[in-house]
């Protein structure tokens, strides 16, 4: 069976577990490797999700995978990805909004949407592919790799676009994690404002923890809560992006829209967040799901890494990297001005 034949299997074909097993096993191995690599020196600041996509890319481009693995890899990179994003809702509680107040929520919303719009606009000026601009905008404005994965579920970007976006967000988020504590020595923000600044602007949750707690326990706790508030805004952002992406397909005669206006995984995210906020889900159920969700996301990223060609990544050139850097500087600057000037 060739790769093209494996990928073109009809949706209603009766595929068996044997058909998916090689790819699922390969994804599981890459996922386990990502968790193992994290224990190496200097790797602990990187999340397993980020490491999985790089380990998958390394395996695919150096070792290569058999065509029989394509079905399981495709399943992990698409359906498993949407399931994992939906399950993130169990980690969100509306009560968290009260911890930073109306001011904090307003600043988070303003920073998020202004950064997203700035990145998309600047992407057009730099000639960056629209789908890649959307992924970079989501990753910078919301929550790094998880937001990129959610945005990719509605944009339908290539695996190379997703891998490039994750690499950019990882680079600039890691720089921010080490740079923010030193910048605050010059800025002199008190602990609670420093934590708010970090939570409003740093990309990955792990990076927020790393940078936030450098300013003390209070700063770290505020940074994490603010970051979670940004993650809560993932749903409305993806819904808006889905509407924006769907518009061109309505203008194309005879072509049905490929994605629903409100993706089902976003609905699941909101419903699970609401259930978690109401506290009606037993901890015996919620706990294992919360623990498993990062593993599922890591597996999905491993699958996307396995589908990425390094030679195609090189075709992107420097403009997307420049765009990611400009977006990171923008959200850092806007967030700093907001926490400094808004009473």
**What is the structure's pLDDT at 263?**
64
Q: Which residue has the higher pLDDT, 331 or 91?
A: 331
Q: Which token pair is 299? A: 């597996």
Q: Which residue has the higher pLDDT, 298 or 153?
A: 298
Average of per-residue pLDDT across 149-175 = 82
Q: How far is CA 272 from the centre of its chain?
A: 18
How deeply is 201 buried, as exposed, middle or buried, from its count of CB atoms within 10 A (0-12, 13-18, 19+)? buried
Cα dihedral 316, 321, 327, 333, rounded to 10, equals -170
Token match 């806007």: residue? 334
Distance (Å, whole) CA 299 – CA 43: 18
Q: How far is CA 64 from the centre of its chain?
A: 26
Q: Which token pair is 74? A: 């495709």
* pLDDT value at 92 more than 70: yes
* pLDDT value at 14 more than 70: no
Beta strands in 112-243 (DSSP E): none
Distance (Å, whole) CA 238 – CA 269: 11
Q: Which token pair is 281? A: 């889900």
Distance (Å, whole) CA 269 – CA 158: 24
**What is the structure's pLDDT at 253?**
40
Average of per-residue pLDDT across 222-230 = 84
Distance (Å, whole) CA 73 – CA 302: 9
**What is the structure's pLDDT at 88?**
80
Q: How far is CA 59 from the centre of its chain?
A: 22
Predicted TM-score of the model (pTM): 0.71
* pLDDT value at 265 more than 70: yes
**What is the structure's pLDDT at 252?**
40
* pLDDT value at 12 more than 50: no
Q: What tens digit of pLDDT does each residue of 101-133 get?
A: 788 888 889 999 999 999 999 999 999 989 899
Q: What tens digit of pLDDT does each residue of 15-68 get?
A: 677 778 888 899 999 999 999 998 888 787 677 877 888 898 888 888 877 777
* pLDDT value at 335 more than 50: yes
* Least confidently predicted of 141-155, 196-210, 243-257, 258-272: 243-257
Q: What is the DSSP string of 26-75?
A: HHHHHHHHHHHHTTSTTTTTS-HHHHHHHHHHHIIIII---GGGHHHHHH
Distance (Å, whole) CA 67 – CA 111: 44
């Amino acid at each position: 069976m060739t790769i093209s034949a494996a990928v073109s299997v009809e949706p209603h074909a009766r595929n068996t577990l044997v058909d998916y097993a090689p790819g699922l096993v390969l994804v599981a191995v890459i996922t386990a490797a990502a968790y193992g690599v994290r224990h190496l020196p200097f790797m602990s600041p990187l999340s397993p999700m980020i490491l999985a996509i790089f380990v998958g890319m390394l395996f695919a481009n150096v070792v290569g995978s058999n065509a029989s693995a394509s079905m399981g890899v495709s399943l992990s990179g698409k359906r498993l990805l949407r399931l994992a994003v939906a399950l993130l809702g169990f980690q969100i509680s509306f009560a968290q909004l009260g911890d930073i107040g109306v001011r904090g929520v307003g600043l988070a919303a303003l920073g998020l949407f202004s950064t997203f719009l700035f990145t998309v606009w600047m992407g057009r000026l730099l000639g960056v592919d629209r789908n890649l601009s959307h992924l970079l905008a989501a990753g910078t404005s919301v929550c790094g790799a998880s937001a990129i994965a959610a945005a990719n579920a509605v944009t339908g970007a290539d695996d190379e676009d997703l891998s490039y976006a994750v690499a950019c967000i990882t680079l600039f988020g890691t720089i921010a994690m080490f740079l923010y504590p030193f910048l605050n020595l010059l800025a002199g923000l008190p602990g609670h404002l420093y934590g708010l600044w970090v939570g409003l602007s740093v990309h990955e949750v792990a990076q927020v923890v790393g940078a936030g707690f450098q300013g003390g326990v209070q700063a770290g706790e505020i940074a994490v809560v603010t970051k979670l508030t940004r993650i809560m805004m993932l749903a409305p952002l993806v819904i808006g992006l889905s509407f924006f992406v769907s518009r061109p397909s309505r203008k194309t005669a005879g072509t049905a829209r490929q994605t629903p206006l409100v993706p089902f995984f976003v609905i699941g995210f909101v419903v699970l967040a609401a259930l978690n906020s109401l506290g009606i889900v037993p901890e015996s159920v919620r706990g294992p799901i919360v623990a498993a969700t990062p593993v599922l996301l890591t597996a999905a990223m491993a699958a996307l890494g396995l589908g990425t060609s390094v030679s195609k990544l090189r075709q992107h050139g420097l403009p997307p990297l420049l765009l990611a850097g400009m977006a990171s500087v923008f959200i850092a600057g806007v967030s700093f001005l907001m926490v400094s000037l808004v009473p």
